[in-house]
Each structure stands twice: as structure tokens, then as C-alpha cells.
Amino acid sequence: MIQRNVMVILSLLSLGLIMMTCQSKGGKTPQGKTELPAYDAKALFSDILAKPVSVKMPAGLKGDAKNGHKLFTDTKRGNCAACHCAPNATGCGNIGPTLDGFASRMKELKYSDQWLFDRLADSRLHAIEEKRDTVMPPTLPTKVLSPKEIVDVMAYLKTLK
């Protein structure tokens, strides 16, 4: 399990470096080879390397399950379906658990909305508490999803009886 997580993290870091290199104007060495840009990994990945912090779920936000479903399957935004299977979702990954019946399990285990918000915002919080690894990317610190969009995904997950 740990070996797989390390491989996923290394792959993501490599992809980030490749994307930075492709987007940079770069220079040429005296031999005419493309020079890789200098970068500071701590600055580049500061949101991922930072210690996870619980963020209080914004009060009064109403989730939009339809938008949550859209975010769940949107490859440019949440892209949850890349790792999780869920009913009526395009794409179906097998890295994370299947989410069929998620709402029933959440109710049975008596998980709160704040628990789910934290799980979607930055699953590293639960990984630390539960003494396990996670490959689920943080969505709030990296600004992949806003607090409102996280609440929308929560509303969608609560429809999965």
C-alpha cells in the first residue's frame, strides 16, 4: 500500500515538473540543449507539503447535488471518478473505494457533515488521525474546489443511498 502511494506521489510530482518545463520559455545551453528552469519544490508544492488544517464548513451553504455530480466527473475539476466508482458517473476508477451506498454508510457510521467536508477538502486530516496513507489529493488547499463546490459534491454523495 505504501509503495503504491509513493509511486502515485512521485508520478504526480514528475507530471508537475514536466508541465512546468513545457510551459516555460526555457533557455539554451552553449551546446544548444534546452535548459530546464530552476524551481523551488517547496514553493511549487507548498499547498500539498503544508500540514493539513481543518477548515470549518461554511454555515448556511446549501449543496447542489446536480453540480456536485458534474464536479465529481469533471476531469478538469474534482475528477473524483478517476479514483472512485459511483452510480451514474462516467468513468470509474478503482484506486479509492466505491461510493455506491455512501449515504447509507455515512449515516450508519454517524459521520457528521464536518467530517465529510474535511474528507473532501483535505483527506490527509483523516489519514493522520486513522494512522494510514492516502493518495486522495487535497482539494481546498490546492484550490481545485471552493468550499461551495465541496458542499455541492457532499450533496451529490448524500444521494448515493
When pLDDT is cut at 50, 70 and 90, the band that residue 107 belongs to is very high
Kindly tell me the sign of the dihedral angle through the C-alpha atoms of 133, 137, 139, 140.
positive
* Higher-confidence position of 105 and 133: 105
Q: Closest Cα partner for 137 from 155, 148, 150?
A: 150
Instruction: Please state, in angstroms and rounded to a whole number, the distance separating the CA atoms of residues 141 and 6.
Output: 21
Q: Are residues 38 and 61 in the same domain?
A: no
Q: Are residues 116 and 70 in the same domain?
A: yes
Asked if residue 92 belongs to a domain, the reply is yes
Q: Are residues 71 and 140 in the same domain?
A: yes
pLDDT at 141: 87
pLDDT at 24: 44
Instruction: Please state, in angstroms and rounded to a whole number, the distance separating the CA atoms of residues 150 and 139.
Output: 8
pLDDT at 142: 86
Q: Are residues 133 and 72 in the same domain?
A: yes
Query: How long, in residues, is the chain?
Result: 161
Residue pLDDT, tens place only, 3-29: 555 555 655 555 454 555 444 445 555
Give, to the nearest 10 degrees, the angle between helix 113-121 and helix 147-157.
Answer: 120
Lowest mean pLDDT among 27-31, 44-48, 124-128: 27-31
CATH number, domain of 86, equals 1.10.760.10
Q: Are residues 65 and 108 in the same domain?
A: yes
pLDDT at 114: 94
Q: Which domain range does residue 25 map to?
A: 1-44
Q: Are residues 85 and 130 in the same domain?
A: yes
Give me the percent of the chain exceeding a pLDDT of 90. Answer: 45
Q: Are residues 37 and 77 in the same domain?
A: no
Q: Closest Cα partner for 106 from 60, 31, 160, 150?
A: 160
Q: Are residues 29 and 61 in the same domain?
A: no
Q: Are residues 75 and 123 in the same domain?
A: yes
Burial 139-154 (b: 16+ CB within 10 A, else e): bbbeebbeeebbbbbb
Q: Closest Cα partner for 155 from 75, 72, 87?
A: 72
Q: Are residues 103 and 149 in the same domain?
A: yes
**Would you state the cell numbers that stand for residue 89, as one nine-digit string?**
458517473
Average pLDDT, the chain: 81
Does the pLDDT at position 93 exceed 80? yes
Whole-prediction pTM value? 0.71
Instruction: Please state, in angstroms and rounded to a whole number, the distance separating the CA atoms of residues 80 and 99.
Output: 10
Q: Are residues 75 and 105 in the same domain?
A: yes
Counting the structural domains of the chain, the total is 2
